[in-house]
């Protein structure tokens, strides 16, 4: 299954200066537990912000121009079509983990969204989700985390 996973502030902010503009250990733990054993797809800027491969996951970096040193745990792909072709051979799910352009690029093929609602507004953010990104999706369940965090799962209608 192709799943978008994102943490989003009240004002739809998802990033600032190439990083998450908040730190919630409960969200990071949930993200890890949800994605381990699967593949994660990220844009080059998200890859640079993370700085290293996420353990126990196939890390797929999407970039038309950047190059990466060869590694067993990181796969550089050049386009969405290559990612979708690979997806059919994966045993687990394929998680789209950011950034904004990568979410936008895969919006038409994402089958499920896992959205962590961050209980704050980030005034000086520079990366946002579109306000309509959940159009065509129905809320399936809500998971309560620590620190007032709420995760909502949406499935395509």
Q: What is the pTM of this model?
A: 0.95
Report yes or no on 150 lying in a domain: no
- For position 103, which CATH number holds? 3.40.430.10
- How confident is the model at residue 67, as a pLDDT? 81
Per the document, the length of the chain is 157
**Both tokens assigned to 25:** 């250990």
Q: Tell me which residue range forms the domain holding 115.
A: 2-142
pLDDT in tens, 21-50: 999 999 999 999 999 999 999 999 999 999
Structure confidence at residue 101 (pLDDT): 95
DSSP symbol at 16: B
Report the domain count for the chain: 1
How far apart CA 117 and CA 148 sit, in angstroms, is 9
User: Two tokens at 103?
Assistant: 């979410």
Cα Rg of the chain (Å, integer)? 15
Q: What is the pLDDT of residue 56?
A: 96
Residue 151 included in any domain: no
- Structural domain contains residue 100: yes
- Stretches where the chain sits below pLDDT 50 are none
DSSP assigned state of 35: H
Question: Residue 154 falls within a domain, yes or no?
Answer: no
What φ, ψ does residue 18 adopt, rounded to 5°?
Answer: 80, 10
Q: Does residue 126 belong to any structural domain of this protein?
A: yes
pLDDT value of residue 64: 85
Q: Is residue 79 part of a domain?
A: yes
Residue 147 placed within a domain: no
């Amino acid at each position: 299954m192709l799943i978008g996973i994102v943490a989003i502030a009240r004002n739809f902010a998802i990033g600032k200066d190439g990083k998450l503009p908040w730190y919630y250990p409960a969200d990071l733990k949930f993200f890890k537990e949800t994605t381990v054993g699967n593949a994660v797809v990220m844009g080059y800027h998200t890859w640079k912000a993370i700085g290293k491969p996420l353990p126990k996951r196939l890390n797929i970096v999407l970039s038309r121009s950047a190059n990466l040193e060869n590694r067993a745990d990181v796969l550089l792909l050049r386009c969405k079509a290559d990612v979708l072709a690979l997806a059919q051979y994966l045993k687990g799910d394929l998680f789209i983990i950011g950034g904004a352009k990568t979410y936008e690029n895969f919006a038409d093929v994402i089958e499920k969204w896992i959205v962590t609602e961050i209980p704050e507004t980030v005034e000086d953010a520079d990366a946002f989700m579109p306000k309509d990104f959940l159009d065509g999706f129905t809320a399936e369940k809500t998971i309560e985390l620590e620190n007032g965090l709420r995760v909502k799962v949406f499935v395509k209608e």
